[in-house]
Structure 1
Amino acid sequence: MDVTAVLAGQDLELELEVPDGIWFPDVEPTQRALREQHGIEAVVLTCVADDPITYLMAPIGAGVSTSDLTPWARTEWYGEALPWIDQHVTANGPWTQVKSWGLSNVLRIPTTDGDVYFKALSSASTRPDALPFLFANEPLFLQRASAARPGDVPAPLAVDEQRAWMLLPDLGTPLADDSDVAVWIDAVRNHARLQLSYAADPERLLTYSCSDRRLAVLDTALDHLLEPNVLTQQLDTTDQARLPDRAKQLRKAISELAAIGVPETLLHGDLHPWNLAVRDGTVLAFDWTDAALAHPFLDLVTFVKEELPLSADPRVRDAYLSEWEEYAAPTDLRRALTLAEELGTLYQTITYLHLVDHLSGPSRKAILGGGSVWLRKLLAVQDH
């Protein structure tokens, strides 16, 4: 497929051939194509269009800024980030920009001990009355969680809490690529045990920068869906008219789920099989930007993927639920999971609704599209 690279400050527009099907935040193929096809080294400052994909790019040090909200949309930002990286790791080759969009910018740095990943996070808002930014400060979260639970979450090599920067070692290959059901079972068991380890002191998670998204908060957040907003305005009038009755069903589900007695604790928030990495038999979840204090079973909503049968394997599900038998009988736990599957559509819809206010351009469009998908799932789910 073709991607267009507009070189800032040079009035130059280049067509690049990249592999089919890339998603615009995955910028590494474009950076590589610019180097190999035109001999130019540059970084993506921002994606200005996603259909067809068009990037504004610039060499480091070119002194170029854009109107994009993200700090890495100006080349001067690299004058701060790259020296900080050099303070903590010694590269043995050139770094590569891996991912860049409105929420994060990721660079890969080769070292003698393996690849290291630099991740920077954004918290910019498009307007002063925006809904709260629900993302956690991931560097702070991982620093504190890895100190409290060594080996259970990735330990950063270095963090800058104020600027939301961190360095992480290579964690391995995605769980999605593993065909051994035993590895999948270990993954969900270990995740449940991590969640359980905070059950006795859940509010500690708030000091880790986790958002408070417990069921009572989720109930209140339902009000946002009953008001005019950028997601509901995309529904036809029939679906808009269904929202009040659907809200009543969801509130009933919230009450029933709370009554089962599974404690609210750590939630990853985006626990899908590509956000779990396998290395030397150990599985660790990464990308903890959605970390929250919430009902733990909501994590299985994003974990199960239709294209990955092992994610929905009853053995995997039952292994996860078995870790919670201290709090409820197996039949009640299965019921809790059913309710969580329904409420997970609400949880994700609310997440996307909040994120839209903090993005612009193709990043905003992508989040708006994702939120619409979750909202339609929310309306499609039948009352259980």
Structure 2
Amino acid sequence: MQLHLEHTLLHMEVRAHVAQQVFTLELADDFWFPDVEPVLQMLREQFGVEAVVRECVSEDPVTYLLDSIDELPEWYDEVLRWIGKHVTATGPWVQVKAWGLSDVLRIPTAAGDVYFKALSQASNDPGALPFLFAHEPRFLQRASADRPGEVPAPIAIDESRRWLLLPDLGTPLGQETDVVLWIDAVRNHARLQRSYAGDPDRLLDYSCADRRLAVLDTALDRFLEPNKLTRRLSPDDLAKLPDRAKQLREAIAELAEIGVPETLLHGDLHPRNLAVRDGKVLAFDWTDAALAHPFLDLVTFVEKRSPLSADPRVRDAYLAEWEEYATPSELRRAVHLAEELGALYQTITYLHLIDHVTGPSRTSLLRGGDVWTQKLLT
């Protein structure tokens, strides 16, 4: 039974080889179920139980199916052998994240922490977009080789198994209060994007999804059909879709005419996906990497919780890198259009990912899709 207290109660099932045990833990109300490290830490400290999350089976109440550290699935043996070929651990590893899109472990080494990431597999449907969370290892290996120091260089990858080993990249940009770091972050990101502007085929070879404006226009057709997100709209909102689609098509055409080239897009460039180490900022979590209009990255970058992300000095520093393609006024107009189209872009992303997960992961993505759909309609 779930008890309604001033904090969220998390009911967690542990299935070990002896018997089933159930533990109840108390965490903050804003806890997000994929971030499993604090759950496992509390389980260890309060009950002396060492375990890993196999899956989250419910969000209300939050319920995990766990594996005892002494009875781990064979998958972990394979993972730990692979990690051991590339780094030497100096202490116990920790599960950091687990949900339908990825599983993340942290491993201490003499050179600092490293992170193992296992990504979800690609869709079996050849007509679908490349599954965005499946190709990050290939992208980082290739991009870091020809743009050293501009994207994180993996310690190792296993492309066929979608495994990735990365060094600790530092602290999130969102925690920084020096506007100079924020300016450097967007300026360097723009320069990285521009460096690929004349080489779209290279990005496609790196497994970036083709999500250029023409593709986005076609994807709009799918959104106008009954789907998992539009079925959740009210009748009034559904009635807005045809007119809104016409406006979005006009925005696509206008943005294309401004002339900023389509190139590398991070796809989820928010301040917690940028890390600062020794004064240098690098974007990580390139699971959504695509060939698209670069200004769409500003849509996720600017957020209420990080006031500096909306600082005009930061925006202007980013736009200054694109002045060879358009006038300052045209670039500001392009940002406005990208903000409008960014909601469509993200909605299509969520609509795609929903098809590839189940359970609480699917429910979480549906909520995210609902948020972007509402932004699209306003």
Q: Secondary structure at the match of 2:132?
A: coil
Deviates more, 1:8-17 or 1:245-254: 8-17
Q: Give deviations 1:17-70, integer Å, cap 9, x for gaps.
A: 33442200000011111111111111000001112211000124636xxxxxxx
Return closer, same or farther for 1:129/1:233 CA change in 2, 3 Å cut-off: farther
Q: Take 1:21 and 1:344, find their aligned partners in 2: how far apart are those partners?
A: 26
**Equivalences for 1:32-43 in 2 at 5 Å?**
32-43=41-52
> What is the match of residue 21 of structure 1?
30
Please point out which of 200, 212, 223 is paired with 2:221: 223
Q: Which residue of 2 aligns with 1:82?
A: 80
Q: Which stretch shifts more, 201-210 or 53-62?
A: 53-62
Identity of aligned residues (%): 70
Structure 2 match to 1:254: 252
DSSP-derived class of the 1:229 partner: coil
Distance 2:31 2:149 in 1: 33
Letter in 1 for 2:303: K
> Is the Cα contact below 8 Å between 1:44 and 1:55 reproduced in 2?
yes
Q: Is the 8 A contact 2:265 2:293 kept in 1?
A: yes
Change (3 A) 1:110 1:4: same
Q: 1:99-158 CA distances to partner (integer Å, 9 max, x unpaired)?
A: 010000000001111100000100265x96994323451111000000010000000001
Q: Is 2:115 the counterpart of 1:117?
A: yes
Give the corresponding residue for 1:72.
none
What residue number does 1:198 align with? 196
* Matching residue of 2:67: 58
Q: What TM-score results when the alignment is normalised by the length of structure 1?
A: 0.93
What is the correspondence of 1:3-18 to structure 2 with a 5 Å cutoff? Answer: 3-9=10-16, 10-18=19-27
Instruction: Give distance in 2, aligned partners of 1:148 and 1:300.
Output: 24
Equivalent residues, number? 368
Letter in 2 for 1:119: K
Q: 2: CA distance between counterparts of 1:274 and 1:116?
A: 18
How far apart are residue 82 of structure 1 and its match?
1.0
Which residue is 2:3 aligned to?
A: none
Equivalents in 1 of 2:345, 2:136: separation in Å? 20
TM-score (norm: length of structure 2): 0.95
Which consecutive unaligned segments of at least 5 residues does structure 1 have? 64-74
Distance 2:204 2:157 in 1: 19
> Does the 8 Å contact 1:7/1:58 carry over to 2?
yes
Q: Could you tell me which residue of structure 1 aligns to residue 5 of structure 2?
A: none
RMSD, aligned CA:
1.4
C-alpha separation in 2, matches of 1:129 and 1:54: 34
> Does the CA-based 8 Å contact 1:18-1:33 persist in structure 2?
no
